[in-house]
């Protein structure tokens, strides 16, 4: 076979995708680098772009509002992924064995996964609306608690955590279940014959065999929770104050409410940089573990 010729066809087949991704992904990336070195605020005196070098980035590292949203995003992501992983694992264990109505439960359980994030936010907003939402109403009626996501930071956080758990635990459960079901039974049988107790079995047998699937799940969930913003925006509107304002919403407001394009660009680039670093670290952890297993 003519190798040079066939390679050319390969690149030809690949090129439309590269072209589209180049236009949709690469062009904005370079443009944001360019704008990030300028001061460009529609409401400022100059109105147009003024080259300022790295001044935006110098401001950014001392911008406590921005850094606050960034750390909140990371904390949120870490907390939800941890909770969902633990819950998902327990629930996956309960689904290993077949039982009547399992298919029904599973089908219903996975519904939230395909609901649009903005609709999820709307749903939970209705659940928690003051005065006429069922959650604050019944908490007050039965326990005398005041649940107000608009006034209490803690309660707003409980609300968004609950929403995210509702939205994504099904996904974690089902991937872990798929991983568990792929584990062969022989080593487990052998271990139980050898007298391993339940804890040992989980710690030394099930978890190591499940590790690749856990890592993939964590990878996807962390990246997605870092991206998400519209459901939280819909539920709490970033409040009370800025206590649930995540970095995406912060950029959105800088760009569209304040129209500070230059500064917004430098934020976008920094967030993009953080995401790529985290993505790369997780990706390496993922593939590193897999190749070690192969050896």
Partner 1 sequence: MNTKLAQSRFTSIFSTFNRYVLWSVLTIFTLGPIYWMFVVSSRSPVEVYDKPNLIIDSFYAENYTKVFQDRVVRNYMVNSLIVATTNAVLVTILALFATYALTRWKLKGSDSVFFWTITNRMAPPAAFILPNFLIFTQVVKFGDFMLFDTKIGLILVYCLFNLPFAIWLLKGMLEGIPLELDEAALVDRASRMQVLFKIIVPLAAPGLAITFILTWVFAWNEYLLAASLSSSSARTITTRLAEYVTTTGTNYGELAAVAIIATLPAIIFLTFIQKYIVTGLTFGAVKE
Q: Which stretch binds partner 1 (CB under 8 A): 56-64, 75-83, 148-156, 257-265?
A: 257-265
Contact 204, 196 (CB under 8 A): yes
CB of 142 to partner 1, least distance (A): 13
Which among 110, 34, 105, 4 has a CA at the least distance from the CA of 266?
A: 34
CB 188 within 8 A of CB 43: no
Could you say which residues in the range 169-228 bind partner 1, by CB under 8 A?
170-171, 174-175, 177-186, 188-189, 192, 198, 201, 206, 213, 216-217, 220, 223, 226-227
Instruction: Return the number of the residue (50 or 122) whose C-beta is nearest partner 1.
Output: 122
**Residue 79 or 216 with smaller CB distance to partner 1:** 216
Compute how many residues bind partner 1; rule: CB under 8 A.
108
Nearest-Å Rg of the Cα atoms of the chain is: 24
276 binds partner 1 (CB under 8 A): yes
**Looking at the DSSP assignment, which residues form a beta bridge with residue 260?**
41
- Applying the rule CB under 8 A, the residues between 117 and 136 that interact with partner 1 are 117-119, 122-127, 129, 131-134
Q: What are phi and psi of 258, to 5 degrees?
A: -90, -15
Identify the residue among 2, 4, 101, 241 touching partner 1 (CB under 8 A).
Answer: 101
Stretch of 58-66, 75-83, 98-106, 149-157 contacting partner 1, by CB under 8 A = 98-106
Cβ atoms of 217 and 175 closer than 8 Å: yes
CA dist 105 → 98, 100, 108, 196 (Å): 12, 10, 5, 32
Least separation in angstroms between CB 245 and partner 1: 12
Residue closer to partner 1 (CB basis): 186 or 295? 186
Helix (H) / strand (E) containing 101: none
Q: Dihedral through CA 204, CA 210, CA 211, CA 213, nearest 10?
A: -170
CA–CA dist 120, 200 (Å, integer): 39
Binding test (CB under 8 A) with partner 1, winner from 56, 156, 232, 248? 248
Which of 50, 79, 83, 91 is in the footprint of partner 1 by CB under 8 A? 91
Q: Which backbone phi and psi does 91 adopt, to 5 degrees?
A: -65, -35
The H or E element that residue 222 is part of is helix 207-227
Q: Which of 21, 75, 207, 285 binds partner 1 (CB under 8 A)?
A: 21
State yes or no: residue 67 binds partner 1 (CB under 8 A). no
Q: Does 82 bind partner 1 (CB under 8 A)?
A: no
- Applying CB under 8 A, does 18 fall inside the site for partner 1? yes
Please state the closest distance from residue 98 (CB atom) to partner 1, in A.
7
């Amino acid at each position: 076979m003519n190798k040079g010729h066939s390679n050319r066809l390969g690149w030809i087949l690949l090129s439309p995708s590269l072209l589209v991704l180049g236009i949709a992904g690469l062009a904005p990336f370079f443009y944001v680098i360019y704008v990030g070195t300028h001061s460009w605020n529609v409401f400022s005196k100059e109105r147009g772009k003024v080259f300022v070098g790295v001044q935006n980035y110098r401001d950014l590292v001392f911008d406590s509002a921005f850094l606050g949203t960034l750390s909140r995003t990371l904390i949120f992501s870490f907390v939800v992924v941890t909770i969902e992983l633990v819950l998902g694992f327990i629930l996956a264990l309960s689904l290993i064995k077949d039982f009547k109505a399992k298919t029904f439960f599973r089908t219903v359980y996975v519904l939230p996964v395909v609901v649009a994030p903005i609709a999820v936010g709307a749903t939970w907003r209705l659940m928690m609306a003051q005065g006429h939402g069922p959650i604050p109403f019944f908490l007050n009626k039965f326990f005398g608690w005041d649940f107000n996501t608009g006034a209490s930071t803690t309660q707003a956080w409980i609300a968004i955590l609950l929403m995210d758990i509702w939205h994504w635990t099904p996904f974690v459960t089902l991937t872990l279940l798929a991983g568990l079901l792929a584990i062969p039974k022989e080593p487990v049988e052998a271990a139980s014959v050898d007298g391993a107790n339940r804890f040992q079995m989980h710690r030394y047998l099930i978890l190591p065999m499940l590790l690749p699937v856990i890592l993939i799940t964590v990878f996807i969930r962390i990246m997605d929770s870092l991206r998400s913003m519209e459901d939280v925006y819909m539920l709490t509107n970033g409040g009370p104050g800025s206590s649930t304002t995540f970095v995406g919403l912060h950029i959105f407001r800088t760009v569209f409410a304040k129209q500070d394009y230059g500064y917004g660009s430098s934020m976008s680039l920094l967030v993009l940089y953080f995401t790529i670093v985290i993505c790369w670290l997780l990706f390496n952890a993922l593939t590193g573990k897999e190749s070690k297993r192969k050896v």
